[in-house]
Amino acid sequence: MKRGITKTKTRQLEKDIPDINLDNTLKVDHVNMFCNSLTDNLTRIVEKYTMKMKHLQKKTRLPWLNSEIFKLMKKRDLAPKVALSGGLSTDFLIYKGLRKEVSMVLRKAKTSYYSLTNSGGQG
């Protein structure tokens, strides 16, 4: 889980930092015990002043998408950047062609996927 800290909690933390008692941590003689104690104190502070945030889950992958289609989509996504930076009319035509090609390939892949799944289920 990601953790984020709000502005109000940041202000509270700034007020509470001088009040943190590290005397018990500093009294420890052994290095490992000192590190463990310090880690416990820091963990307590982090948990007190941060809120848990859920990760965005990746969308489920569509079964008709394959690596070739992803490469073509990536190429299509880069084409407008090239067209805008170069300013050539041919770059815009390439982008339009890639857009059309991706649409066609996706349509064909989706159609073939559903035709295979439907024909397999009817037996």
pLDDT tens-digit series, residues 12-31: 777 777 666 666 666 767 77
Domain count, the chain: 2
Whether residue 87 sits in one domain with residue 114:
yes
Domain interval for residue 115: 67-122
Find, among 53, 49, 55, 40, the residue nearest to 11 by Cα.
Answer: 49
Whether residue 71 sits in one domain with residue 49:
no
Is 60 part of any domain? no
Is 108 part of any domain? yes
Q: Indicate whether 8 pLDDT > 50.
A: yes
How much is the pLDDT for 123? 45
What is the three-class DSSP state of 84?
helix
Whether residue 49 sits in one domain with residue 26:
yes
Is 58 part of any domain? no
Place of tokens 């990536």: 74
Confidence of residue 75 (pLDDT cuts 50, 70, 90): very high
Confidence of residue 107 (pLDDT cuts 50, 70, 90): very high
Is 80 part of any domain? yes
Is 59 part of any domain? no
End-to-end CA distance of the chain: give it in Å, rounded: 46
C-alpha–C-alpha distance, residues 88 and 82, integer Å: 9
